Structure 1
Amino acid sequence: MADVDTGSMKIEVRPVTADDYEDWLRLFRDYIAFYEEEVPDDIIAAAWQRLLAREDNMIALIATGNDRAFGIANLVFHRSTWARDWYCYLEDLFVAPEARGKGIGRALIEAVYAEADRRGASRTYWATQAKNATARTLYDRLGVLTEFVQYRR
C-alpha cells in the first residue's frame, strides 16, 4: 500500500492480516493506555474481528519493518447527510514510542488518505486530545484543524 524509508529501515504500510493479530493487539492496547482509557477485552476482540473481516466498512492498517510492527490505523467508512459519497473516520492512530519521529505517522496518514481516495471518500477526519502536542504538530501539516468541539454521551 505504502512504503517509507526511515533511514535505518524500510517501513511498509498495508491492511492487516490474521497473522498481525498479536502486533495489532499490542499496539492497540498501548494506544488505549496512552489515552488513559479502558476497553473491555470482548470489545477489543470484536473490533479485531470486524477490522480483519472489513465488516461494517471498517479496515485496519499496520506499519511494519524489520519483522516488527510500529504503528496502526483503524478506519471507519460511513455515509453522511452532508455528501453523496462516503466519509473516512480515522478512529485510531498509534505509533510505538520508540518509532516516533521517523515518518511512520505520516506514512500511516498518507495510506489512510490513499484508501479514502480509492473508496471515493470526500472527507477524511480524526480527533485527538488538545494536549497531544507532538501528534498535533504532524496533524497540522497533513490536515486542517476545524472549529468543532466534540460532545459525548
Structure 2
Amino acid sequence: MTIRVRPVVADDEAAWLQLFRDYVTFYEATVGEDVLMSTWQRLLAGSDNMMALIALDETGRPVGIATLVFHRSTWSPTWYCYLEDLFVAPDVRGGGVGRALIEATYQEADRRGATRTYWATQEKNAAARALYDRLATLTDFLQYRR
C-alpha cells in the first residue's frame, strides 16, 4: 500500500473527526463533541504547539491520524515532541500506515529541532507495540495521572 502523510487542512474535518471518534472508541473512552470541535479548531489553527497529520492511501482515502504536541523540557535546552494520538483505520492495520505516521512525526520533530519524540500506549495493545518496538525504545517509566 502506498501511503502519503501530510498536515491536516480544513477539508479534512469530516475525515479527521471520524478517525478521532474511532480512536476514542478503540480506547473505550468518551470525549465530548465540544472537546472534539475545540481540538479540531486548535489543530487547524496550529496553536498551542499542536499539529495533526493525516495518512492517505493510494486512492486518497484518509486511513490514519496522528496528533503531535511540541513542548519545552526541564532536562534539555531543546523541544520535545509528544505523539499524543495515533490511530490507523482497522481495515488497513499492518499495511504500513502506523509506520508512515511515526516516520512523518520523526521528520516533523527533526524539522523543529526536537531532541526527543515519545508516546504511550496501553500495555495490552500488542499489535501496535510490535511496531513501536521496531521504531523506538521502550522505557521503564510508568504513567501516573490525576
Q: TM-score range by the shorter chain?
A: over 0.9
Q: 1:30 aligns with which of 22, 26, 48?
A: 22
**Partner of 2:72 in structure 1?**
79
CA apart distance, 1:79: 0.4
2: CA distance between counterparts of 1:47 and 1:140? 29
- Give per-residue Cα distances to partners, 1:64-107, cap 9 Å, x unaligned: 12131000000000001010010000000000000101101000
2: CA distance between counterparts of 1:76 and 1:97? 24
Between the two proteins, the alignment pairs up a number of residues equal to 145
Q: Judge which range, 62-71 or 126-135, deviates more.
A: 62-71
Structure 2 alignment gaps of length 5 or more: none
Structure 1 alignment gaps of length 5 or more: 1-5
Runs of 4+ in structure 1 over 6 Å off: none
**Partner of 1:3 in structure 2?**
none
TM-score by length of 2: 0.98
**Partner of 2:43 in structure 1?**
51
TM-score by length of 1: 0.94
Mapped pair 1:112 → 2:105: yes
TM-align CA RMSD? 0.6
2: CA distance between counterparts of 1:67 and 1:117? 26
CA apart distance, 1:27: 0.4
Contact in 1 for aligned 2:73/2:80 (Cα 8 Å):
yes
Contact in 1 for aligned 2:3/2:96 (Cα 8 Å):
no
**Partner of 2:89 in structure 1?**
96
Q: Percent identity?
A: 68
2: CA distance between counterparts of 1:108 and 1:99? 13
